[in-house]
Amino acid sequence: VQKEGEDGQPVKKYIPFVKTIPKKTSLIGKVCHDCTVIPARNGSKVGESLMKRQNLTQGKERPKVTLLNEIPGVIQSNAGPSIKGNTSSIFLKSSQSKAKTEGRAIRMPKKDLLDLLFRLFEEYEYWSMKGLKERTRQPESYLKESLESIATLIKRGPYTSKYTLKPEYRRLRDAERAVRLGLDENDENKENDENEEEDEEMEDVV
């Protein structure tokens, strides 16, 4: 039986406020088959995928920024009060950089350097590193690397810390020198014989 109020309307039963909490339901599937997929190397789209991967790893090439002081012939000046600095410092830096580049030794090709070293060892049997640097004008590290293949560093005796040719190169040098000397002697003998023949002919004419 519903209760009625004074106005004759039915009175609603008081229901307290209850906040409903939604439930989070998750479904877990059961694995029936475990598969591993490997792309075919002979596929038609393998080349396209490789190109895309290279483009992603390399990225886009950014434009190179060139400063004014890196362009030859361009001198940066004080354009306004916001730019600080002095033009004299620019000239000092350029002169210092030129002095540094002039002091550095420029590497020559290794073949040319070895030929030069062989010619120097024909002049003298023993050479110090200082003397070789002065004659070749090459960096010390590059000079040492080249000397290791043709010369040995003496560690004892009167020629300590000096370089001399390895025995095989020394024998080759001596053989070439002997051949040259033999040719020179033969040339001198031929000239002497020719001179003697000329003298005999002159005597016959007289």
pLDDT digits over 13-46, tens only?
666 666 777 777 777 778 788 887 776 666 666 6
Higher pLDDT, 175 or 196: 175
pLDDT digits over 123-180, tens only?
999 999 999 999 999 999 999 999 999 999 999 999 999 999 999 988 888 888 888 8
pLDDT digits over 78-91, tens only?
544 444 445 455 55
Specify the pLDDT at position 36.
79
Full-model pTM: 0.41
Answer for the pair 165, 151: CB distance below 8 angstroms, yes or no.
yes
Specify the pLDDT at position 32.
81
Please state, in angstroms and as integers, the Cα–Cα distance from residue 77 to each residue in 58, 92, 95, 124, 137, following that order.
Answer: 38, 14, 17, 55, 38
Answer for the pair 163, 153: CB distance below 8 angstroms, yes or no.
yes
